[in-house]
Amino acid sequence: MYKSFLNILAVFHRDVTEQRLSFQDHPVLNDRYLLLTLIGKGGFSEVHKAFCLKEQRYVAVKVHQLNKEWKEEKKANYIKHALRECDILKTLDHPRIVRLFDVFEIDTDSFCTVLEYIEGNDIDFFLKQHKLIPEKEARSIMMQTVSALRYLNTDIKPPVIHYDLKPANILLGTGTSSGEIKITDFGLSKQMTEDTYDPEHGMELTSQGAGTYWYLPPEVFVTSGPNPPKISSKVDVWSLGCIFYQCLYGKKPYGHNMSQAAILEHQTILNAKEVQFPARPQVSNEAKLFIRRCLTYNARDRPDVIQLAEDEYLRSYPKRSATNSSARTAQLLINDSSN
């Protein structure tokens, strides 16, 4: 399908047992993307820093690999999620969302998506290095993330639920907690089309069991009853509460140090009716109240993304003698509020 197809295969070494691709000698994909360094691995994908020879810019090339031994149903499901991410990302244009530039096939079992390259690491990496993020910087991250989510719910038609918000999917553009952020990974996102979404009750969750359990709300774990659970943007609001809590306290509010299997077995999230705050570090009462609102157990009583964007804790900004760094952050938040 592509002129460089045979050359690509010659430099690829497939490790079937790990279901990943390993690249050598800096191959050029699709006649334009020069692979430079491996920057991340997932269960069925690798992400490489690359250089676009045509546009003369750095990009992130995500190589999606399918195991040939998979059943066709599993292949189709994986491709469906990957292509959904592509379809959604192609329509998005917001300073707090990673841009998608290109999609192309390598062979029948692998394909690539080309994304905006972000120099910094994600919040998950930052927390592993620094344990905590001070409240002022953590609130900045929340405000920027809410700005992106509001865009997904007001400017995009039909609106989008990210559904997989977590520290690993929020990138720190400068590598520090006080800089600009971008959200990424829309592989599990849901579009609230008119035929599937009820404004009063939400839309049916057709992919129950997917996602990262520490950051998902109780309603997605409900298995009783004849019908699938109903979800809305309130799923992302719960996720934000979990992320903010983890930034401030260095641990997850529910299921910390538990496996996903244990969370299901013990019904940890289904029983997450009250959030507990450690005595240290010291956090403002306003921040705690904001977290409680995000982690409201009953989805009916929890604010949605649009309501959260109007939350007083996010909209107010303390008047302090600012350093150059904090002044830059304040200006960033003001700019986001106008988006």
Annotated binding-site ranges for ATP: 62
Tally Cβ neighbours within 10 Å of residue 228. 15
d(CA 184, CA 186): 6
Q: Which of these, 187, 184, 173, lies nearest to 83 by C-alpha position?
A: 187
- Tell me how far CA of residue 77 lies from CA of 73, 273, 333, in angstroms: 6, 33, 38
- Residue 31's contacts (CB-CB under 8 Å, 6 or more residues apart) are 2, 3, 4
Q: Which of these, 201, 54, 173, 202, lies nearest to 114 by C-alpha position?
A: 54
Binding-site residues, in ranges, read: 62
Q: Which of 122, 164, 185, 311 is catalytic?
A: 164
Tally Cβ neighbours within 10 Å of residue 236. 30
Q: In angstroms, how far apart are the furthest CA atoms of the chain? A: 62
d(CA 241, CA 215): 8
Region of 42 (left: φ > 0; alpha: ψ -120 to 50; beta: rest) is beta
Q: Which of these, 280, 272, 234, lies nearest to 253 by C-alpha position?
A: 272
Cα 35 to its chain centre, rounded Å, is 24
Whether 164 is catalytic is yes
- Tell me how far CA of residue 128 lies from CA of 35, 46, 137, in angstroms: 27, 21, 16
| Residues labelled catalytic | 164
